Structures are given as structure tokens and as C-alpha cells.
Amino acid sequence: MSIQWFPGHMHLTRKAIGERVKTIDVVIEMVDARLPASSANPMLRELLEHKPNLKVLNKADLADAARTHEWLDWYNQQHNTKAVAMDGHHTAPARALIDACMALAPSRGTMDKPMRVLICGIPNVGKSTLINTMVGRRAAKAANEPGVTRQEQRFSLQDGFYLFDTPGVLWPRIIVAQSGYNLAAAGSIGRNAFDDELVALELVAYLQRHYPQALLARYPVADNVQALTAMADHVLFDEVGRKRGALLPGGRVNAQKAAEIILQDFRSGVLGRLTIETPAEFQEWLATGERL
């Protein structure tokens, strides 16, 4: 397994965030609501330890609402942390972040003591989208590919309230194998970092255990949920490919094509609102999973 990893860039980003954070009052850390722990960078926790943290579970429109509640409860129990879930395209919840920052640092937000907020998150988590929604105009450059480097930018939201974009690119830090698969499934690490077939097979196996109904609704490969659950995961993967016409000449399943279909269906939300890790599962992976 090869993993995209840029220690040089990471070192610079660490330095830049370390400098920036000295003059910051609240940190908004964005994570992907479908994979909150895997889409976080543990380096931030260490750098931003003493700063109030507003955790935004973004793309909540694509995530399982019950599991989002579970994650919010989990984060809200942490010291100095407030967690909210949202779709970064929507104005009301994005603007509500201003009040949430005020509540976390009540002494700031005046002309003499402006509120300075840093938005952090891995590429593709939705930072530019949220900044644009908060600022109310097309301010931050939205990128379709993960990892487009941007200049650090400062936005004035209202008198005495400044928003700063992450200086540098905060790559995910993958500490267990399952996080790598989950990031790859969500399209949050560059293509080629992981093998599509392996990632899609892991995803299918997870969805088969936790969301068999969603799989069956999209891919009628079995008569009922029990029958789908009883299939071996690689057989299920092949049957999905066959059903969706991902075939090679001669009728064998084109595994690469099948993988792309499954990943695209997950990313776009057509498989339904799915969350591919829970707080308990992530703890379990940390305790017993393959450490990277």
C-alpha cells in the first residue's frame, strides 16, 4: 500500500499554523461528517491545545443523521470544544458559527479586541465553500481536486470579526489503515494513493455490515437484506459490477470499473446518507488496527 505523504510540506504547515495560532482566538476545525476522525489531522490537536475549538462536521447532508448525533455528543464532551454539523453551502448555519465563536471567546469581537478565527481542515473538506458562505460572496477559491495550494487569506465578516484560512495545506495524517481506506473512499486523498479496487471492496464490506438496505436499494443483487448480508464481500462486489454493466469482453466483471461506480455512488450521496465510522469503531481501530 502506498500513501501520499509530504513530510516537507507538513513541516512548513506546522510552522505556519504554529505562528498563526498565537494571534488566534478560536479555531474552527472542519472534518467530514461521514468520517470525522479519519478526516481530522491529529497534529492540530497538539498545536491548538489551548485554543477554544469549534468543530464543524461538514457535509452532514451526506452523512447518517443518527451517527452525526453520536459524533457531536462525543466531541461536545471534550474540553474547550463545541461541535456542530452542517452543509457548508447553507447560509443560516454558516452565519451561526459567528455566534458560536463569540460564545467560545466572549471577551473578543469588538473593534479594540477583534475576534480572530482560523479555519483549518484537510483539502476537500469544504473550507472554501464555508468561507464563501460565511463571507457571502465568492471569496475563497473553491477547488475540485484535493490539495490545491492557496495563499493564506483573511476575511472580514463584520466589524471586529476576522476569519483566516489555513496557511499551507493540511494533509490528513493517516494513523491506521482503515482511516486511509475511508479517506480514499470519500475522495479526500489524491487518486493513486490507494488502489480503487481495494478501497471499494473495503467500503462494500463495511456497508454490507452496517447499511445492507442502502446497498440493496441501489444494487438489487439479492432477493432481500438477509441474502445480501450472507454473500461473501468479493461476490457482492462482483455482482454489483455485473448489475451495473461493468463487464470485460467475454463477460467477466471489470473490477476497476465496478470500483469506480461504487466509489462515485458513495461520494455523490446516491447510496444514501452514510457514515463510515463511529467513535467506538475509531477507538477500536486505534487499539487493534494496523498502525501506519
CA distances from 290 to 2, 177, 179, 276 (A): 14, 6, 10, 17
Q: Which range binds ligand GDP by CB under 6 A, 49-57, 104-112, 141-149, 202-210?
A: 141-149
Q: Can you say whether the dihedral through the CA atoms of 176, 181, 183, 188 is positive or negative?
A: positive
Q: Which three cell numbers stand for residue 70?
A: 453520536
144 carries a ligand binding annotation:
no
Indicate whether 135 belongs to the interface with ligand GDP (CB under 6 A).
no
Q: Which three cell numbers stand for residue 164?
A: 483566516
64 carries a ligand binding annotation:
no
**C-beta of 184: minimal distance to ligand GDP in Å?**
16
**C-beta of 286: minimal distance to ligand GDP in Å?**
25
**C-beta of 86: minimal distance to ligand GDP in Å?**
6
Cβ proximity to ligand GDP: between 21 and 84 the closer is 84
Q: Which three cell numbers stand for residue 96?
A: 451561526
Cβ proximity to ligand GDP: between 30 and 236 the closer is 30
Residue 174 to residue 169: CA distance in whole angstroms: 15
Cβ proximity to ligand GDP: between 109 and 123 the closer is 123
Helix, strand, coil shares of the chain, percent, nearest 5, are 45, 15, 40
Which of 93, 123, 167, 168 contacts ligand GDP by CB under 6 A?
Answer: 123
166 carries a ligand binding annotation:
no
Residue 194 to residue 271: CA distance in whole angstroms: 22
Which of 4, 13, 58, 208 contacts ligand GDP by CB under 6 A?
Answer: 58
Q: Which three cell numbers stand for residue 276?
A: 463510515
Which of 3, 10, 12, 61 contacts ligand GDP by CB under 6 A?
Answer: 61
Indicate whether 260 belongs to the interface with ligand GDP (CB under 6 A).
no
Site map (CB under 6 A) of ligand GDP, residues 80-119, x = contact: -------xxx------------------------------
Residue 25 to residue 115: CA distance in whole angstroms: 6
Residue 27 to residue 50: CA distance in whole angstroms: 10
Q: Can you say whether the dihedral through the CA atoms of 167, 169, 173, 178 is positive or negative?
A: positive
243 carries a ligand binding annotation:
no
186 carries a ligand binding annotation:
no
Instruction: Identify the CA nearest to 163 among candidates 145, 125, 137.
Output: 137
Indicate whether 59 belongs to the interface with ligand GDP (CB under 6 A).
yes
Q: Using CB under 6 A as the criterion, which residues of the chain lie in contact with ligand GDP when the complex forms?
A: 58-59, 61-62, 87-89, 121, 123-129, 142-144
Q: Binding site: what residues are annotated?
A: 58-61, 124-129, 168
